[in-house]
């Protein structure tokens, strides 16, 4: 596919460029602060930059008739209104978490939490020592998917990008489901999956969960 | 119920005797190498011994009109033919693993294997050093549920009752699903569950999955 | 060796009989409440019973000129005085924890804690849901061996006999040292190791640490 | 210092360039397949490429009077002979693993392998799917430190930089020592440490162990 990147000089922007081109897709639109390089009209624009960039991104989608994958965090109600309007004519995937693995786990846990209702359950998560919030946002999402009051144990150690572990146990058995983020590339790989998903859609507002659901059918 | 145990002097045979009699069932048929103690006709015969014993077990089922719970590993095609023939007249539960947790995992893996199709996958299993077959029957079941050609790594260490681990990884993430049998009693408890299930059936070939399905309805 | 067991009908007494006889040692003295079976003079007497039994145990050591392995918990100062007096003529191994693995870890951690002083460190421990104290006594021993103020995370899940994990991490690496108690047999195996150690000693008061140290030389 | 990199376009080559230049060292010699860029004589040449490149590396060391840090895996006896000859005139650091954690583990394992002699032991290692050699050089070093004939299980999965696990188990306990390289930068950081170490040496064949020992004094 032909793709565009908003914030292409940023940390995740670089990873998106790397992951997409490695999969043989062609960057035709590169946007960063005060800079727009337009070689062709992209099929999909990928934006993991800042909320401020959203207006430019919207204009570019309309100009080039491009679909949108947006992973920008800290979006407010106004931003969501803008995205919903845009989604009437263009297909959009929006999510605060583009890790495929975590989204799969959330989906699976929602499905199986009932089976484990008479097993004990606790969660552990490990992140680098510079992370200040406890527990992690992802651990809270996991707890919500299990839909139960349970303990979360937060370890802060060295340079760990992000480990999450859900433990279920009864008298005779232990099941542990572990997720490890190997690197930040995770989010770029998730963006590529989202871009491929959205290519097949005309318009509409989708989240990462919709991608997982379609694959699980 | 009245029950029989083939291989009653073996490690799991002893646990089956223990778990069944603790639940107030009566052992009326005890079989081991060169030894058959017949006090009465059992409702169910439980066999977790060796493939060689299967012929005697079959003869005893026919003689006593008993149903069969069979957990013997390393069964080949010929053994399965024998069981299928027997199941025309007698209800049989056959499984390579009688733990609830493993059977839940098998069910989940069948549902989600499609979404992991572009992730690498390998399996590791650890069992006590006296276990002779490699890989474990359970690891083979897990591989079949994932429905892919993949490597199974078998460790034989000390007194481990049974660990199984399925690892999925792509460039940026690792998901590991681990199961631990805390003690071998797990399998005897599963055998009792199977015996109670089969008491209500006339004939037919069942697996532990059918028990889980019926329980979850 | 010829050995004796005080409290041979108790849960750990039975395991001691099992582990020692499996290793081809001969039980010649069996003691329990109101019962003493004396066939011969044991080389070593093993006592994992109650503090009340200690006086009888002492008398039997003196009568048969036997060495002593004692794993009874809740010993007080008076009991220790008695043991110290006895140790002038007979070799004794006393410990509150006969798990070989935990004692090795304690020894190793004391030696290497200095090397890891600029790595982050936390401890997790998992025990069955019926265990009431948090953190486990073993976790506290591990923390003392590391000799640092660190967090201990206690999980209470199903039927886990006892997992302990020490995690060290810096910016680029993670080292995790995990210990799992597979079953209560652990303590009987440790008692056998202690009995073999003490056979070579004339007299003196030893702990499990001394055994580890001798092996590490 | 002025440094050279053999295999500078490779994955680890790039990281070495990044880590050394970030620490204000100057690349003056860059070598890759069919390409040699020589700007000046390097104080140290760093080679983490392939065994085939070793002859060129040797020639360049002699031409420029450079010391050598070599982390190439899968070296055979012939390669080691070549390195030993070279070390008569030039200081060399050779290691199959340049991480501090692994080298601490090697040291600890050598000290404690004796106490585990009646425990079963196996090793597992996980690396990214592009790593071709099996088992990893590090796993071989760990095996040598344990000084025993044991099985190494090699998993090749996704983007894992490098996990190693040593499992010891007897009838009642399991001890698992796990090491995780959080990112491949670990090895480049270790290479820089080695380069600084070797600057102070005239000649001789050193390993990473010698660096650890000197630091701990």
The verdict on a CB contact (< 8 Å) between C178 and D174 is yes
Indicate the pairing of strand D163-169 with strand D120-127. Answer: antiparallel
Residue D88 is encoded by which pair of tokens? Answer: 């008569």
Minimum distance, in Å, between the CA of residue B211 and any CA atom of chain A: 13
Q: B157, D174: Cβ pair inside 8 Å?
A: yes
Tokens of C152: 């201990």
Q: Would the pLDDT of B217 be above 70? A: no
Facing residue for B100 by CB, picked from A112, A173, A184: A173
Q: Which residues of D touch A185 (CB under 8 A)?
A: 159
Q: Give the residue from A85, A93, A149, A92 showing the smallest Cα distance to A117.
A: A149
Residues B18, B27 contacting (CB under 8 angstroms)? no
Q: Name the 3-class secondary structure at D160.
A: coil
User: Does the interface predicted TM-score (ipTM) exceed 0.85?
Assistant: no
Q: Which of C158, C159, C182 sits opposite B160 (nearest CB)?
A: C182
Q: Which of A106-110, B212-216, D37-41 has the lowest mean pLDDT?
A: B212-216
pLDDT at D185: 86
- Residues of A near C (Cβ–Cβ under 8 Å) read 119-122, 124, 126, 129, 151, 153, 155-160, 167-174
User: Closest partner residue to B159 among D124, D153, D171, by Cβ?
Assistant: D171
Asked whether residue C217 carries a pLDDT value surpassing 80, the answer given is no
Which tokens sit at C65?
A: 């000129």
Q: Is D131 a catalytic residue?
A: yes
Q: What is the pLDDT of residues D159-204, one digit of tens each?
A: 999 999 999 999 899 999 999 999 888 899 899 999 999 999 999 9
Alpha helices in chain B (DSSP H): 11-22, 54-64, 77-86, 100-112, 137-146, 185-199, 208-216
Query: Which residue is catalytic, options B127, B143, B164, B193?
Result: B127
Give me the sign of the Cα torsion angle D76, D82, D87, D91: negative
Q: What residues of chain A lie within 8 A of the CB of D129, using their CB?
A: none
Per the CB < 8 Å rule, is A160 touching C173? no
What local confidence, expressed as pLDDT, does residue C83 receive? 97
D143 catalytic per annotation:
no
Chain-chain contact of C160 with B182 (C-beta, under 8 angstroms): yes
pLDDT in tens, B153-203: 999 999 999 999 999 999 899 999 999 999 888 899 899 999 999 999 999
Q: Is the pLDDT score of B132 beyond 90?
A: no
Burial of B32 (0-12, 13-18, 19+ CB in 10 A): middle
What counts of helices (H) and strands (E) characterise chain D? 7, 11
Which among B177, B183, B186, B143 is positioned nearest to B159, based on CA atoms?
Answer: B183
CA distance C77 to C84: 10
Most B CBs within 10 Å: which of D161, D162, D169, as the mutation test of the B interface? D169
Among the partner residues C120, C157, C174, nearest to A169 by beta-carbon distance: C157
The number of beta carbons lying within 10 Å of the beta carbon of residue C83 is 19
| pLDDT over 90, % of chain D | 84
Angle at D142 between CA D141 and CA D144, to 5 degrees: 65
Question: Mutate which of B169, B181, B184 to disrupt the D interface (most D C-beta within 10 Å)?
Answer: B169
C-beta separation of B126 from B178 below 8 A? no
Of C126, C151, C174, the CB nearest to A158: C174
Please state the rounded mean pLDDT for residues B144-157: 97
Residues 6+ apart with CB under 8 A from A174: A167, A168, B101, B178, B179, B180, B182, C157, C158, C160
Any idea what DSSP says for residue D39? Answer: S
Structure tokens at A106: 């959330």
Tokens of C4: 């004796």
Give the Cα separation of A188 and B172 in Å (integer).
9
Chain D nearest CA to A180, separation (Å): 10
Residues B137-152 have a mean pLDDT of: 95
The SS3 assignment for D212 reads helix
Q: How many CB atoms lie within 10 A of CB A213?
A: 14
Residues of C with CB under 8 A from a CB of A: 119-122, 124, 126, 129, 151, 153, 155-160, 167-174
Q: Which chains touch D (3 or more CB pairs under 8 A)?
A: A, B, C
In degrees and rounded to multiples of 5, residue B36 shows phi and psi of -130, 115
| Chain D residue nearest residue C189, CA to CA | D172
Q: Which two tokens stand for residue A182?
A: 């190997």
User: Out of D25, D64, D67, D127, which one is annotated catalytic?
Assistant: D127
Closest Cα of chain D to B189: distance in Å? Answer: 22
Distance between CA atoms of residues D23 and D4, nearest Å: 15
Question: For A38, which DSSP code?
Answer: E
Q: Residue B209: name the closest of B88, B97, B68 by CA.
A: B97
Give tens-digit pLDDT for B39-97. 999 999 999 999 999 999 999 999 999 999 999 988 999 999 999 999 999 999 999 88
- What are B217's two structure tokens? 């309805």
Sheet holding C91-94, edge to edge: C35-38, C26-32, C2-6, C44-47, C67-70, C91-94, C204-206
pLDDT at D216: 65
Q: What is the mean pLDDT of residues D34-61?
A: 96
Bridge partners (DSSP) of residue C125 are C154, C164
How many angstroms separate the Cα of C167 from the Cα of each of B204, C142, C179?
51, 12, 12
Tokens of B90: 């007698």
Distance in angstroms between the alpha carbons of the first and the last residue of chain B: 25
Query: Could you report the per-residue pLDDT of C20-53, keeping only the tens digit for each?
Result: 999 999 999 999 998 999 999 999 999 999 999 9
Min Cα separation B214/chain D (Å): 37
pLDDT band at A113 (very low <50, low <70, confident <90, very high): confident
- List active site positions of C: 127, 131
- Residues C189 and C201: their CA atoms lie apart, in Å, by 19
**C-contacting chains (≥3 CB pairs under 8 Å):** A, B, D
Cα–Cα distance, A126 to C133 (Å, whole number): 24
Pick from D114, D115, D180: CB nearest C173: D180
Three-state SS across A175-203? EEEEEEECCCHHHHHHHHHHHHHHHCCCC
**Residue whose C-alpha is closest to residue C46's, from C23, C70, C27:** C70
Secondary structure class of A3 (helix, strand, coil)? strand
Choice among B131, B153, B185, B209 that is catalytic = B131
Residue A166: pLDDT over 70: yes
Of D9, D14, D128, D131, the catalytic one is: D131
Give the CA angle between residues A174, A177, A183 to the nearest 5°: 150
pLDDT digit string, tens, across residues C123-146: 999 999 988 789 988 899 999 999
Residue D181: closest CA among C167, C113, A157, A182 = A182
C71 falls in which pLDDT band (50, 70, 90)?
Answer: very high
B145 and B121 Cβ atoms separated by less than 8 Å? no
Residue of A163, A183, A187, A189 for testing the chain D interface, max D β-carbons within 10 Å? A183
């Amino acid at each position: 596919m032909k793709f565009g990147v908003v914030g292409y000089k940023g940390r995740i922007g670089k990873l998106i460029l790397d992951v997409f081109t490695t999969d043989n897709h062609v960057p035709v639109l590169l946007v960063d602060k005060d800079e727009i390089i337009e070689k062709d009209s992209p099929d999909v624009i990928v934006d993991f930059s800042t909320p401020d960039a959203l207006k430019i991104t919207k204009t570019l989608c309309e100009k080039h008739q491009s679909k949108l994958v947006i992973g920008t965090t800290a979006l407010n109600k106004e931003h969501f209104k803008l995205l919903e309007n845009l989604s009437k004519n263009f297909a959009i995937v929006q999510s605060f978490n583009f890790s495929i693995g975590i989204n799969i786990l959330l989906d699976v846990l929602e499905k199986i939490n009932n089976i484990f209702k008479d097993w004990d359950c606790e969660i552990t998560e490990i992140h680098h020592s510079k992370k200040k919030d406890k527990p992690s946002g992802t651990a809270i999402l996991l707890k919500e998917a299990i839909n139960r009051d349970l303990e979360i144990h937060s370890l802060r150690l060295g340079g760990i990008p992000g480990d999450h572990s859900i433990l279920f146990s009864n008298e005779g058995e232990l099941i542990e489901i572990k997720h490890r983020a190997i690197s930040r590339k995770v989010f770029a790989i998730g963006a590529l999956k989202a871009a491929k998903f959205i290519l097949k859609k005309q318009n509409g507002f989708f989240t990462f969960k919709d991608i997982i659901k379609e694959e699980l059918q």
